[in-house]
Amino acid sequence: MNSNVLDIKDYIVFLVYFVIVAAYGVYIYYRKKSKAEDSKDYFLAEGSLTWWAIGASLIASNISAEQFIGMSGNGFTMGLAIATYEWMAAATLIVVAVFFIPVYLKNKIYTMPQFLHQRYNGTVAMIMAVFWLLLYVIVNLTSILFLGALAISSISGISLTACMIFLAVFAVIITLGGMKVIGFTDVIQVFFLILGGLATTYLALDLVAKHFGTEGAVEGFKYITKQADSHFHMILKQDNPHYISLPGLTVLFGGMWIVNLNYWGCNQYITQRALGADLKTARRGILFAAFLKILMPVIVVLPGIAAYVLFQNGYFQKEMMVNGELVQDKAYPVLLNLLPSGLKGLSFAALTAAVVASLAGKANSIATIFTLDIYKKRINPDADEKKQVWIGRATIILSMLLAVLIAPFLGIDKKGGFEFIQEYTGFVSPGIFAMFILGFFWKKTTSNAALFATIGGFALSVFFKILPQFANLSFLSPMGFAKQVLQKDGSLVYEIPFLDRMGFVFLFAVIGMYIISILENKRGVVPNGLEVDTKMFRTDSKFAVGALLIMGIIVALYTVYW
């Protein structure tokens, strides 16, 4: 096995990647730079991004260390079922392209707080702007930076602190050029991400094949489907130990939709890529991202399953253990250290690309929300375009510096990977999504109803989380809404799977919003409606064909691996 140190070939490959990305970023910046910098151009790349740049940027911003490390770790323990986050996301992207993006573009909405201000009021918008800034800086930016640095450090042998500083500086260089530079350099980032990811998958599958006396990725895939048949079921039964994470049909008809619709449709970090384009370009870019999403499990889940089969056959017995305990999130780094010189550098570049692209996208969203929704509206309403761009760049540098300083003290490495992030994001997702979806399509929704969804949704999430500690929920078990879980103190309680919990909270939030809105309507409260026309939701024939093809592939995958 290769040690976790890069040799000269690896550094050369990585240097080539770095030079290509940096040089292309500088080229795009000066080629598209206007005489006077415009804030909308800087934050949104208005009219600059092509459909393929939008699609690539969506994926580059989405895929990061938590997918490479955390999702591969889930592949090791629970198998292909974790791919539901990727494949259901592909279906969700089609819904967002058809129904969400037209509403944003028609109403000239550029940030999520702006939507809340325009639809509800300034109080709701400011509360959520501050909330999103705190979430993006303290949770998202720090976790991406720390987990990425941790993974890269394990591959390269470079210190964790040095890796964090390098990633932060690299991301700042890209981000300071604005969304147009981020969007186009993300195309290269995705190229390296996919190429390096596929190389790792190929090596892992080939290693499995060699263990059984053959060779080649195809033969390796056949062996892992035989040796780990239990790891190739998308819909988990209630007796599966991982049912609490992915509760059966909920992934198709329940909380998984809330997770994805909130992330892809109500998230500044993601929607920002499409808000500067026209509807046709935005939709095609999102459709391209949906195609790439279908490919992602090959890169981030299959290596974890291959590592599981190899582990079961005597490989990585020491490497996968920490203090005598099996650590699932070590599966991907362990595989990377098997790569030969050159390919290891390529995979190192792929992981770096994923992390840097996510950091750049997140930092740009932080700058956009702070500059347009807080600084311009509350601090300095008279700020000109040049001043806004300057404030945006300063915000990027300060937020990245803050993330570098506080990330080591948050215990991120002790909190698990991808699954943990999904669960605890779920404390706020149902309420926010309820606020957005009713704000889109029900003109009677009031501002107080939106506040209830935000605050009440979070409170309900906490309530359902702690409910099993003082109430017996066994009556929910026959319906599949509760599973017996062993606690640290040795006791057994019936817990509600977090995806089901999200579904319950969303329903209660919608019911509460409906009641509050109706009562306020009767008192004469007239909400601010958005301009919505059913003609906005019509698509062209090319988009319709692409969407049907994606849905057909998803149906086929779930049919084969049910």
Q: pLDDT, tens digit, for every residue of 492-544?
A: 778 888 888 889 999 999 999 999 999 999 888 878 777 777 888 888 999 99
Per residue in 148-196, pLDDT tens? 887 777 777 788 889 899 889 888 887 877 767 777 777 777 787 788 7
**Residue in 182, 173, 190 with CA at minimum distance from that of residue 48:** 182
Pick the more confident residue, 487 or 498: 498
pLDDT of 407: 82
* 1: confidence class by pLDDT, cuts 50, 70, 90: very low
pLDDT of 417: 47
Instruction: Count CB neighbours of 225 within 10 A.
Output: 15
Per residue in 192-214, pLDDT tens? 778 878 888 988 899 889 888 88
Q: Is the pLDDT of residue 3 over 80?
A: no
Q: Is the pLDDT of residue 422 over 80?
A: no
Report CA dihedral (163, 164, 165, 166) to the nearest 10 degrees. 50
Q: Is the pLDDT of residue 117 over 80?
A: yes
Q: Could you give all domains of the chain from N- to C-terminal order, each with its CATH number?
A: 8-29+40-212+266-416 (1.20.1730.10)
- Chain centroid offset of residue 425 CA: 11
Q: Is the pTM of this model over 0.75?
A: yes
Per residue in 229-270, pLDDT tens? 999 999 998 888 888 888 888 889 888 999 899 889 888 777
Percent residues over pLDDT 90 in the chain: 21
CB 179 within 8 A of CB 43: yes
Q: What is the mean pLDDT of the chain?
A: 83
Q: For residue 324, give the DSSP letter.
A: T
pLDDT of 224: 92
Helix (H, G, I), strand (E, B) or coil at 484: strand
Distance CA 405, CA 402 (A): 5
Q: How many CA atoms lie within 13 A of 149 on its CB side?
A: 27
Say which amino acid occupies 280. Answer: K
Q: Is the pLDDT of residue 279 over 80?
A: yes
Helix (H, G, I), strand (E, B) or coil at 185: helix
Per residue in 65-89, pLDDT tens? 777 777 888 898 889 999 999 999 9
pLDDT mean over 126-134: 85
Say which amino acid occupies 74. Answer: N
pLDDT of 2: 47
- Backbone region of residue 321 per phi and psi (left: phi > 0; alpha: psi in -120 to 50; beta: other values): beta
- Backbone region of residue 84 per phi and psi (left: phi > 0; alpha: psi in -120 to 50; beta: other values): alpha
Say which amino acid occupies 28. Answer: I
| CA quadruple 18, 19, 21, 23: dihedral sign | positive
CB 344 within 8 A of CB 359: no
Q: What are phi and psi of 492, to 5 degrees?
A: -115, 130
Residue located via tokens 């570049």: 349
Percent residues over pLDDT 70 in the chain: 91
Terminal Cα distance for the chain, rounded: 36
Degrees (nearest 5) of the Cα angle 520, 526, 530?
120
Question: What are the residue ranges of helices labelled H in 337-445?
Answer: 343-368, 385-406, 418-425, 429-441
**Residue in 85, 8, 121 with CA at minimum distance from that of residue 246:** 85
pLDDT of 412: 59
pLDDT of 517: 94
pLDDT of 191: 81
Per residue in 425-446, pLDDT tens? 778 889 989 999 998 888 899 9
Q: Which two tokens stand for residue 168?
A: 């932060």
Distance CA 117, CA 125 (A): 5
